[in-house]
């Protein structure tokens, strides 16, 4: 086979039925069941068929080695600004924008991702008439924020430098376990986490100092802001300037309001929090890449109500808690999970308050595979 060609896996064409051995489907009233099974033998099972295809690639190793090659003379490079259902808004390097579909081959590639294209992706498109086109190739990603959604990987955004984790102090209530999940996902995706405690006008800043101090000791920048009063907006603007950022958090925490305060001409829609259940109402419905006047880009994402980590096994979970690292070698057992074992140095550190009890509870929730509370989207 040509070194620039590769066999790639495609999605299964068929899946097994919900009831594999339903007697009503196998009952034979005319002949012997054994004879029926022989007559229906197949070289390949009818259930999960193995599907492969040979495609021309660029012949390089890495995430993009299963992507088809393109011709720079007939294709144009750009970045995905937004994903609207089956359509993708792509901006080229010269500023032109195309509404593109995804090439069928890309959609049928076997992948754990919910969608092969995400906001922020660098792509190659084949343009057609009326500023339409087709996405033919997705370049390898760096700096991704991802989560698990219905058993698949949901890439919220790709090719960013930092994630600004917006958490409301009140309305909805402060959820520290959600911060910890974002921090773990950010470290796994090789992006810098920044914590933004919004709605500072609803609380006494002195009450927040233990939280600010603890995360600051972990080397994480913490901002205190209020979109209502303008407190901390200038500092947040400096954090976003000339960076590739994503703003993420629960519904109703004020993500769009903060962006409107930083750049009023955006005029992003905002909504209030439900008084019944203290949950935010979705205003932003899709992740969108926005150019900042101070330089750089920022992605405004829809509010999330559930955040489960993707592709992190329990054995590696301790590595996403920086304060655990100096205690892990002191545990009695090398495979200590820090949950029920005796002579566990991490548990002793929690008891002595050297490690935050709240952070430890977040760890237990993540290692058990629980999703952050708040319900489904």
Q: Which tops the pLDDT comparison, 346 or 13?
A: 346
CATH of domain 145-300: 3.40.50.300
Q: Comparing C-alpha atoms, which of 65, 54, 71, 130 is closest to residue 96?
A: 130
Q: Comparing C-alpha atoms, which of 164, 168, 169, 167 is closest to residue 186?
A: 164
* Confidence (pLDDT) at 6: 60
* Confidence (pLDDT) at 149: 82
Q: Is the pLDDT of residue 164 over 50?
A: yes
Q: What is the mean pLDDT of residues 234-261?
A: 92
- The mean pLDDT of the chain is 81
* Confidence (pLDDT) at 53: 58
Lowest mean pLDDT among 56-70, 189-203, 225-239, 349-363: 56-70
* Confidence (pLDDT) at 196: 96
Q: Please tell me if the domain spanning 63-138 has the same topology as the one spanning 314-367.
A: no
Spans of all domains in the chain: 63-138, 145-300, 314-367
* Confidence (pLDDT) at 275: 44
Q: Is the pLDDT of residue 218 over 80?
A: yes
Q: Comparing C-alpha atoms, which of 134, 128, 129, 130 is closest to residue 90?
A: 134
Distance CA 324, CA 216 (A): 16
Instruction: Write the pLDDT tens digit of every residue in 110-125.
Output: 566 778 899 999 999 9
What phi and psi, each to the nearest 5 degrees, are found at residue 113? -75, 145
* Confidence (pLDDT) at 269: 62
Q: Residues 199, 201, 207, CA angle at the centre, nearest 5°?
A: 90
Q: What is the mean pLDDT of residues 365-372?
A: 74
Output the DSSP codes for 133-164: EEEEEEPPP-S-EEEEETTEEEEEE-S-SEEE
Instruction: Enter the DSSP assignment of 206.
Output: G
Instruction: Write the pLDDT tens digit of every residue in 291-339.
Output: 999 899 999 888 777 788 888 888 889 999 999 999 999 999 989 999 9
What proportion of the chain, given as a percentage, has pLDDT over 90? 47
Q: Which tops the pLDDT comparison, 365 or 107?
A: 365
Distance CA 194, CA 191 (A): 10
What class, spelled out in words, does domain 63-138 have in CATH?
mainly beta
Q: Which tops the pLDDT comparison, 261 or 41?
A: 261
**Domain at 314-367, CATH homologous superfamily:** Probable gtpase engc; domain 3 (1.10.40.50)
Instruction: Write the pLDDT tens digit of every residue in 32-91.
Output: 544 444 444 444 444 455 566 565 556 554 444 577 788 888 899 999 999 988 899 999
Q: Which tops the pLDDT comparison, 357 or 53?
A: 357
* Confidence (pLDDT) at 1: 47
């Amino acid at each position: 086979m040509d070194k620039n060609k590769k066999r790639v896996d495609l999605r299964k064409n068929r899946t097994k039925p919900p009831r594999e051995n339903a007697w009503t489907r196998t009952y034979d009233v005319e002949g012997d069941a054994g004879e029926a099974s022989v007559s229906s033998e197949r070289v390949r099972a009818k259930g999960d068929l193995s599907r492969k295809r040979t495609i021309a690639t660029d012949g390089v190793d890495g995430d993009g080695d299963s992507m088809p090659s393109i011709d720079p003379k007939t294709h144009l490079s750009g970045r995905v600004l937004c994903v609207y259902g089956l359509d993708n808004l792509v901006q080229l390097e010269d500023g032109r924008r195309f509404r593109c579909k995804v090439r069928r081959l890309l959609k049928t590639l076997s992948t754990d991702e919910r969608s092969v294209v995400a906001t922020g992706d660098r792509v190659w498109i084949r343009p057609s008439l009326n500023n339409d086109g087709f996405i033919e190739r997705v370049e390898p990603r760096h700096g991704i924020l991802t989560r698990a959604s219905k058993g698949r990987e949901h890439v919220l955004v790709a090719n960013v430098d930092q994630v600004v984790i917006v958490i409301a102090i009140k309305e909805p209530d402060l959820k520290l376990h959600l911060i910890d999940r974002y921090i773990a996902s950010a470290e796994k995706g090789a992006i810098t986490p920044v914590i933004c405690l919004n709605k500072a006008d609803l609380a006494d800043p002195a009450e927040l100092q233990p939280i600010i101090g603890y995360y600051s000791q972990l080397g994480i920048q913490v901002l205190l802001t209020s979109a209502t009063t303008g407190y901390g907006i200038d500092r947040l603007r400096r954090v976003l300037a000339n960076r590739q950022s994503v703003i993420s958090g629960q519904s109703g925490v004020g993500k769009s309001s903060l962006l409107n305060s930083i750049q009023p001409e955006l005029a992003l829609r905002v909504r209030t929090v439900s008084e019944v259940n203290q949950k935010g109402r979705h205003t932003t419905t899709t992740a969108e890449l926005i150019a900042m006047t101070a330089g750089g880009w920022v992605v405004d994402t829809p509010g999330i109500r559930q955040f489960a980590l993707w592709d992190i096994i329990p054995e590696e979970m301790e590595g996403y808690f920086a304060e655990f690292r100096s205690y892990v070698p002191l545990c009695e057992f090398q495979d200590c999970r820090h949950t029920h074992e005796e002579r566990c140095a991490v548990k002793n550190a929690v008891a002595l308050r050297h490690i935050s009890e709240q952070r430890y509870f977040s760890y237990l929730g993540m290692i058990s595979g629980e999703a952050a509370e708040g319900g489904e989207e």
